[in-house]
Amino acid sequence: MNEQNIFIVRTGEVALKGMNKPYFEKMLQNRISQNLREFKKQAEENGWSPVSVRRNEGLIFVRAPKEIPEEKVLRQVSRVFGVSSVSPSVESKSDLDAIGECAVSFMMKQIEERGIKTFKVEAKRADKSFPVKSPDIARIIGGKVLKGCKVLKVDVHNPDVKLFVDLRRDETFLYDRKVSGMGGLPLGTNGRGLSLFSGGIDSPVATWMMAKRGMVVEVMHFHSYPYTSQRAQEKVERLVRIIASYSGTVKMHIVNLLPVQEQIVMHCPEDETTILVRRFMMRIAEQIAKKNGCQMLITGEDLGQVASQTADSLVVTDQSVSLPVMRPLIGMDKMEIIDRAKEIGTYETSIEPYEDCCTVFLPKHPVTRPKLSKILESESKLDVDKLIQDAVLSEEVKEIRY
């Protein structure tokens, strides 16, 4: 009987990285280890067998003491970006008799716990020097299971359990399920970005999607106190904490936008308020991004969703900064974004009815096709550099952990 629970971790897209594959695998191995650090500490404090994460022939193997519930380990590993799927497994020597004995024990447990009556064996021979080919391994192990578990019958079309046998040089692993992971790329393999993060539905999804592509994300949140409340900011922190459950600790930059908004309302045309505020937000974010080594800005904009997200508005907005702007939601419709928000667990928090800075001083009829020349003319009435500098100086930084 194994003293540890064993998990086979598949790397999905990482497997396609060619010569760079070892680098991506190492990054993924490190991220899985980080996600399991609480379990490592727990095992050490209680004198249990250690938690280990190792790479072997394109797979990652996690071992954890049986005292830690299997489903808890599965949950933590499957949330790591770069993991395609995870299988709880049992281990055997790479010998047909030993594999058969292990398979019988495994299937007897399924009979007791789930009342299964039919099965099918699928075998994969990763060690090509093994003298028996994969179809024959499946046939031999299936025969041993039939002999050892007399209540079972073979059903090749719709079995209650599909038993997978993964035969390798030094050990063989048996399992019956694959738990889907998040996919994507390991965090830290694709640079660093700063996400403009409101309390709505879109920006948390956009942030999550860029993290899924391997980007370390920091978040930028604007408030307009006292028009926006402390509870509104607490809501945003809870959203960031959900993102942190996938990406690890997230650096959160908080800036007071109210002085900028007041100057725009006082000196500029009302219908340009939204686009002017947006340009200032981008400039302020760019300053903080550069200061923190972020290579690009990230927004939750979705083409045509609101006045500030028309094609004309986005072009004018982008003219205000030199950093590239990533918009992972740009071609999605609202229902697709909502579905993704529900999937990652941010939706219920996002729809809580707290105000954000974008709703402060909202014009009745915002311009949807702004002209850059007119926007620049309006900005000439403001002390742009000082407003940006004062906003950056108001920055508060928090480390948000899951």
Tokens for 231? 């509870």
Taking the CA atoms of residue 358, residue 363, residue 367 and residue 370 in that order, the dihedral angle to the nearest 10 degrees is -60
| Cβ atoms of 221 and 197 closer than 8 Å | yes
Instruction: For the chain, give percent helix, strand, coil, nearest 5.
Output: 45, 20, 35
> pLDDT value at position 306?
77
Tell me how far apart the alpha carbons of residues 381 and 40 are, in angstroms, rounded to a whole number.
59
Q: pLDDT higher for 169 or 382?
A: 382
Q: pLDDT tens digits, residue range 220-233?
A: 999 988 888 888 89
Q: CA 130 to CA 5: how far, in whole Å?
A: 26
pLDDT digits (tens, 9 = 90+) for 304-337: 887 778 999 999 999 999 999 999 999 999 999 9
What is the share, in percent, of the chain residues with pLDDT greater than 70? 98
- How do beta strands 216-223 and 192-196 pair? parallel
**pLDDT confidence tier of residue 365, bands split at 50, 70 and 90:** confident
User: How much is the CA Rg of the chain, to the nearest whole Å?
Assistant: 27
Q: Would you list the DSSP string of 180-243?
A: E---S--TTSS-EEEEE--SSSHHHHHHHHHHHTT-EEEEEEEE-TTTS-HHHHHHHHHHHHHH
**pLDDT bracket for residue 216 (50, 70, 90):** very high
pLDDT at 1: 43
Contact between 363 and 274 (Cβ < 8 Å): yes
Extract the tokens encoding 322: 């030199």
Distances in whole angstroms, Cα of residue 57 to Cα of each of 11, 16, 36, 117, 161: 11, 14, 22, 34, 26
pTM: 0.89
pLDDT band for 40, please (50, 70, 90 cuts): very high
| 172-181 pLDDT, tens digit each | 999 999 999 9
Question: What is the structure's pLDDT at 358?
Answer: 67
Considering only residues 145 and 18, tell me which one the structure prediction assigns the higher pLDDT. Answer: 145
Query: Could you give the count of Cα atoms lying within 13 Å of 205 in the half-sphere of its Cβ?
Result: 26
In whole angstroms, what is the distance from residue 80 CA to residue 22 CA? Answer: 17
Tens-place pLDDT, residues 236-261: 999 999 999 999 899 999 999 999 99
* pLDDT given for residue 360 in this prediction: 67
Would you state the pLDDT for residue 359? 67
Question: Does 2 have pLDDT greater than 70?
Answer: no
> Is residue 374 pLDDT above 80, yes or no?
yes
pLDDT digits (tens, 9 = 90+) for 48-82: 999 999 998 789 999 999 999 999 999 999 999 99
271 close to 367: Cβ distance less than 8 angstroms: yes
Flag whether pLDDT at 349 surpasses 90. yes
| Region at 47 (left for phi over 0; alpha for psi -120 to 50; beta for the rest) | left
Percent of the residues in the chain that have a pLDDT greater than 90, as a whole number: 85
With a cut of 60, say whether residue 265 has pLDDT above it: yes
- 377-386 pLDDT, tens digit per residue, is 999 999 999 9
For position 179, what pLDDT does the model report?
A: 95
Q: What mean pLDDT do residues 28-53 have? A: 95
Q: What pLDDT does 98 receive? A: 96
DSSP conformational letter for 163: E
Q: CA 61 → CA 33, 125, 178, 262, 263, distances in Å?
A: 11, 17, 14, 56, 58
Q: Residue 152: pLDDT band by 50, 70, 90 thresholds?
A: very high
CA 255 to the chain's CA centroid: 26
